[in-house]
Amino acid sequence: MEKLSTSLRNKIVCKTRFSIDHTLKCGQIFRYFIFDSYYYVPYNNSVIVLRQNNNIVYYEVFGEEIEEKELKEFLGINHDIENINNYLLQREGKLREMLTFSEGLRIVKTPTYETLISFLFSIKNSIPVITKKLNLLSEIAGDSIIVNNKKFYTFPKSSRLRSLTNKDYERLRIGYREKFLREFVGLYNEEDVISLEKKPYEEKRKILLSIKGVGEKVAQCVLLFGFSELSAFPVDVWIEMALWNYFGVKGSIKKLTEFGRNTFGEYAGYAQEYMYRYIRIKNT
DNA sequence: CGCCAGGACAGCC
DNA sequence: GGCTGTCCTGGC
């Protein structure tokens, strides 16, 4: 068992600070599993097994193959983090402590469709509940992949979600979020998303906000994690608290979102995640 | 038992 | 535009 890290077939040598743990545990990703310091992460039609030793990330992909370039994008390893951090510190020195606290955290890039549904589930729910519901949904409608005698499920494709039965929905028990899911699944069209990718931030935001169940916060999450719009700045209750505690700012979610984007600029999303992880851990 | 959680929305002004 | 009550479920 101890030898598995070296038996994981591939490795990435990170040139700058990277932390799988910080990256996965800061609320961007809900579905990951940890056994004996190995991280098992369902991603599209695969399960990625990861283990980190200092700046080396060992990994192996089960199921559909994933190119290293895509894996790096998924985990944010491709981001020029030193440049991003310098940019943020120059804009706002108060970030230094939070930034140091979460060194190695990266913003992930997750499939848009899955990201949107995940954050529909997040509406007024705690992370353990979101995770549980998303895992159940995957068990109901995803494909299984077995790794080391453990069974994992991929996130369901849109066609499978469209054919969910009433009984499936009863099992899910997601309350008023059900109508959001049903409507989104019915309207979803992959080509629309692909054409959206190229459009500017504000256009994407407007379209996301037109989806039922997507308000400012969820839209910012999809922009940040799904579309890699690193200037997006999701404001939840924690960020609201952080902005008040550390910056003395109060206001509506919309105003706070604007404040964050104006204050932290092009990489506001990173400032948000640093703040988020910091205040959550300091307050629990 | 009561309360509220990593929000959105309609209805109101 | 901002403010308020309501919405399902799970967990404490």
- CB A109, CB A170: distance < 8 Å: no
Per-residue confidence (pLDDT) for residue A83, from 0 to 100: 98
* Residue position matching structure tokens 């009863």: A170
What gap in Å lies between CA A12 and CA A70, rounded to an integer?
12
A115/B8 CA-to-C1' distance in Å? 17
Nucleotide nearest to A213 (CA to C1'): B8
A136/C11 CA-to-C1' distance in Å? 18
| Chain segment A222-269, per-residue pLDDT in tens | 999 999 999 999 999 999 999 999 999 999 999 999 999 999 999 999
| Chain segment A104-137, per-residue pLDDT in tens | 999 999 999 999 999 999 999 999 999 999 999 9
Q: Is the pLDDT of residue A281 over 90?
A: no
| Chain segment A54-89, per-residue pLDDT in tens | 999 999 999 999 999 999 999 999 999 999 999 999
Share of chain A above pLDDT 90, in %: 91
Nucleotides of strand B within 7 Å of the protein's CB atoms? 5-9
Give CA torsion, residues A116, A274, A230, A189, to 10 deg.
-10
A249/B11 CA-to-C1' distance in Å? 28
Find the distance separating the first CA and the last CA of chain A, reported in whole Å. Answer: 33
State which amino acid sits at residue A55. N
- CB A112, CB A193: distance < 8 Å: yes
Nucleotide nearest to A215 (CA to C1'): B8
A9/B5 CA-to-C1' distance in Å? 41
For A183-188, the CB contacts below 8 A with 24+ separation are A183/A212, A183/A213, A184/A116, A184/A117, A184/A120, A184/A211, A184/A212, A184/A213, A185/A158, A185/A161, A186/A162, A187/A211, A188/A113, A188/A158
Give CA torsion, residues A187, A189, A194, A197, to 10 deg.
10
Per-residue confidence (pLDDT) for residue A2, from 0 to 100: 46
Structure tokens at A210: 């037109």
State which amino acid sits at residue A182. R
- Cβ within 8 Å of residue A101, ≥6 positions away: A274, A277, A278, A281
Q: Name the maximum alpha-carbon separation found in chain A.
A: 54
